[in-house]
Amino acid sequence: MAVGFHITAAILMLAFAIVYASDPSPLQDFCVAVPDADASVFVNGKICKDPKLVKPEDFFFPGLNNPRSTSNPLGSNVTLLNVDQIPGLNTLGISLARIDFAPYGLNPPHTHPRATEILVVLEGTLLVGFVTSNPPMNMKNRLFTKVLNPGDVFVFPEGLIHFQFNNGQTDAVAFAGLSSQNPGVITIAKAVFGSDPPISPDVLTKAFQ
């Protein structure tokens, strides 16, 4: 009886691990995404282009060294290179972002539901941090924060709320690697206060006290 229970438990754990995997290992050298919004596999990834039609450009994106405009209310600009910009990333479980900051620019609190992020600062100074989830009883969510200088690296665990703020008086630039071909992003303020249709003010008032 006990042996049967352990075998069943092992099978369930294995099945859970397979289902939980967000970017499974590919079964071939590459699976370049077909550039068609209707050609999607809604479980995971996009339909593969015929390998005979694949070109070097499917794995290429130019000009990431060029600064991006930060003339917006947040004073920041995120250039995300996921499977939509580089079709060759399909099924490979990785993507990249360049983040430009004006002085006191902010990449506001947000989460990536499908990816861990690792960030390196190239220019300027950034105050970064993430907040833990589900604190134990009578405890608060814990903030992990650090001031980063050029060459410093910081990791934001998958799914946790995090931010980057240029607390210096000069422009800042950082690059981030993400562990998904399509990490997704949920900007907290925009999602909570800018949804369509809007969340009831009664709900928001009670939630934010």
- Residue 70 in contact with residue 98, Cβ under 8 Å? no
User: Is there a binding annotation on residue 82?
Assistant: no
By CB atoms closer than 10 A (0-12, 13-18, 19+), residue 34 is middle
User: Is there a binding annotation on residue 112?
Assistant: yes
Nearest to 90 by CA among 137, 132, 29, 10: 29
User: Is there a binding annotation on residue 117?
Assistant: yes
Copy the structure tokens of residue 86: 């580089």
Number of neighbouring beta carbons within 10 Å of residue 168: 18
Alpha-carbon separation of residue 190 from 51, 55, 171 (angstroms): 40, 38, 25
User: Is there a binding annotation on residue 65?
Assistant: no
Taking the C-alpha atoms of residue 182 and residue 184, their distance in angstroms, rounded to an integer, is 6
- The neighbouring-strand residues paired with 107 are 164
Strands 106-111 and 117-123, sheet pairing: unpaired
Binding residues: 107, 110, 112, 117, 162
Binding residues for Mn(2+): 110, 112, 117, 162
Q: Give binding residues for oxalate as ranges.
A: 107, 112, 117
